[in-house]
Structure 1
Amino acid sequence: MSQSFINLGPGYSDFFEFEELIHYNHERIRSVIALHTTLEKEPKTSILVIMKPTRQGHFQGIYATFETLPYPYPTSHKRFDFIKSWADEYQLPFLEFEVKAKHYFHEQALYYNYLTGVLRLQRQLPPL
């Protein structure tokens, strides 16, 4: 099976693409995940939408926007609340994990490998 990160940008149009993705594909979504980088001076949050594998081609897409939201604790952030409410609307699992920040990895592929390992350990991605 092929698993790929599909990177969305930091803008509002990309943010609302998540809403449409969840609305029109909620039956295909496995989980919505918030990844927090709490050990940074300015903690950030990434959002992932993990799809179920396709029937043909055995492809699993992971839609992501990396470190674009402010850390939502102790005071929440509207965009974080929106994403959580969209997941709740369709009874999708909404999970939160702490991870290393992207800047610790010299290549994007290394960061993706790290996240894939974290998601497999948390049983959010199936083994290959």
Structure 2
Amino acid sequence: MNQRFIELGEGYGDIYELRELITSNQQRFTYGFVFISTNPQGQDVLSIAAAFKPASEGNFMPIYICREGIPVDSKRLKVFEQAVAQIEHTPIKMEVKHSSVYADRKFYYNHLISVLRLNHYIPPMQ
């Protein structure tokens, strides 16, 4: 199964797009994630993500993400948590390294996919 992060933005207006994806694809929604990291300035920032089952045809599992633009106590986090709660799920919170630690963003996303696989939130590579 091919899993890939699809970056919507940094969580400003795109949080509402992610909320819409969750509510309109309730039957495909699997998990919501809140990734907590510390930016180079020492501030805690959040990334929020939603993983969906593959479409009826194809072997692609999308994980939509708003990357590292959300402060810890933000209304945008509450919008995400409410959208996930409406479909009777609870977001999973994890501490991860900030993307600036990696030489390339694709390495950051590969690391996150590995962490999600190891914790059995997404299926193993086939």
TM-score by length of 1: 0.89
2:120 is matched with which residue?
Answer: 123
Instruction: Compute the displacement of 1:122 (Å).
Output: 1.6
Which ranges of 4 or more aligned residues in structure 1 deviate by more than 6 Å?
none
Conserved in 1, the CA contact under 8 Å of 2:54 and 2:60? yes
- CA 1:21 to 1:117, structure 2 compared with 1: closer, same or farther past 3 Å? same
Higher relative contact order (CA 8 A, sep 6+): 2
The equivalent position to 1:107 in structure 2, one of 100, 104, 108, is 104
Residue identity opposite 1:42 in structure 2: Q
Instruction: Compute the displacement of 1:38 (Å).
Output: 4.4
Gaps of 5+ in 2: none
Once residues 78 and 27 of structure 2 are traced to their aligned partners in structure 1, the CA distance between those partners, rounded to angstroms, is 21
In the alignment, structure 1 residue 91 sits paired with structure 2 residue 88: yes
TM-score by length of 2: 0.91
Number of residue pairs aligned between Structure 1 and Structure 2? 124
Q: Percent same amino acid at aligned positions?
A: 33
Instruction: Compute the displacement of 1:100 (Å).
Output: 0.3
Instruction: Compute the displacement of 1:78 (Å).
Output: 1.0
Deviations 1:78-104 (Å, cap 9, x if unpaired)? Answer: 111111011001112311000000000
Higher helix share: 1
In the alignment, structure 1 residue 50 sits paired with structure 2 residue 51: yes
Output the aligned Cα RMSD.
1.5
1:21 is matched with which residue?
Answer: 21
Deviations 1:73-128 (Å, cap 9, x if unpaired)? Answer: xxx32111111011001112311000000000001111111101111122111101
